[in-house]
Chains A and B, each alone.
Chain A
Amino acid sequence: MNGEMEILEKVKKAFGEKAETAPKWERQSEIKVPLELLHPLLGYLRAQGFGHLAMISCVDWIEEGEFELVYHLWSYEKRLHLLVKTRIDRENPTVETIIPIFRIAETYERELHEMFGIDFPGNPNLTPLFLEDWDGSPPMRRDFDTRKYVEEKYGMIDLTKELWKREEPVLEGENGED
């Protein structure tokens, strides 16, 4: 527990109030920062011994119109898992690449570019990774209608269309009157 508090305090000292830090559970803590502090923070943490960028994940907060990027960092010396979280605009998702800090980020960013449509200026290789000949919107976005896409593209035989539906009540005020 001590190691965690130590690094979180250090981050607090270096980045001030803008970096929200919270221990999650044993050997895992999270740091929430605004986008402009992301790169300095990642650089700082790398220098602190968090040399392993395990992955970059993304959460689609569609109701709030934001993507949340989560950078998973691991330190072999401290045996600590840090989640660095930052929120970006969903309409125009752009984050400067972190390849200068973590070389491995190239592949992760490539995947996020493909699955969520996030742009990473500075990444030289934002070509399709898994999806060949993709024509839909990025599939991991929550507004991507998987079933509609599948039906149109692959001609799925959907048996559930025949599925019996139970009777539903028409409540007062729901039928447009009231």
Chain B
Amino acid sequence: MGLFRWSQSRSLWMMHFCTGCGAVEMPPTMTSRYDMERFGIIPMATPRQADILLITGYLTVKTLKRVVRSYEQMADPKYVIGFGSCTINGGMYWDSYNTVKQLDLYIPVDLYIAGCMPRPDSIIDAFVKLREMIAKGEANGWKRYRENLEWYRTNQAKVFNVEKWSAIEP
């Protein structure tokens, strides 16, 4: 089991949901200056093939719907990294009428990186930490989502302004 987890942690494919301003920090992280590929992390454009969902900044209600749908399409085990202040408590959009403030009300977040925006150094550090967490079996956001699906669905339905909401049957 340990070897299994270790190998999992060495090969992470990342879907970066780059709708927020944090997206600019991704190119230096991917390219030779910081070179995240040496940690086995490769950008991936499709949710079904990805392990990490990277939320780079604020989410509007409209994008949140797409994020939840993408997240549910990802195969287990899957991890979410909240990127920047916006995912923690709204950031500079703290009083905006159309962005969600606390990401972990809607999808389980494994790791937060503070910053506006975080530097590539922080992102690499977060990846290293996530790898450790996966190897130790601490990154259990996907299990939480499964166990508390009703709770997450209720929160999602509240911002989508419907009685009941499901990503699978829209």
Contacts and interface: CB of A to CB of B under 8 A. Distances in A.
Interface residues of B, number: 19
B96 A153 contact: no
A136 B90 CA distance: 20
Contacts, number: 48
A154 interface: yes
Contact of B62 (A132, A149, A153): A132
B102 A133 contact: no
B168 interface: no
A164 interface: no
A47 interface: no
A130 interface: yes
Interface of A: 130-136, 139, 144, 146-147, 149-150, 153-157
Contacts of B96: 146, 150
B94 A156 contact: yes
A156 B90 CA distance: 8
Nearest to A144: B97
B105 A146 contact: no
A16 B105 CA distance: 60
B105 A147 contact: no
A133 to B, nearest CB: 4
Interface in B26-63: 61-62
A154 B90 CA distance: 10
B101 interface: yes
A132 B65 CA distance: 10
14 contacts: A130-B98, A132-B160, A133-B161, A133-B162, A135-B161, A136-B97, A153-B159, A154-B100, A154-B102, A155-B101, A156-B89, A156-B94, A157-B89, A157-B101
B101 A156 contact: yes
Contacts of B105: 155
B158 A153 contact: yes
A130 B62 contact: yes
B150 to A, nearest CB: 18
Contacts of B160: 132-133
B165 to A, nearest CB: 9
Given A146-B96, A150-B96, A150-B101, 13 more contacts: A131-B61, A131-B98, A132-B65, A133-B61, A133-B162, A144-B97, A146-B95, A153-B159, A154-B100, A154-B102, A155-B105, A156-B90, A156-B94
Contact of A155 (B61, B95, B98, B102): B102
Contacts of B162: 133
A154 to B, nearest CB: 5
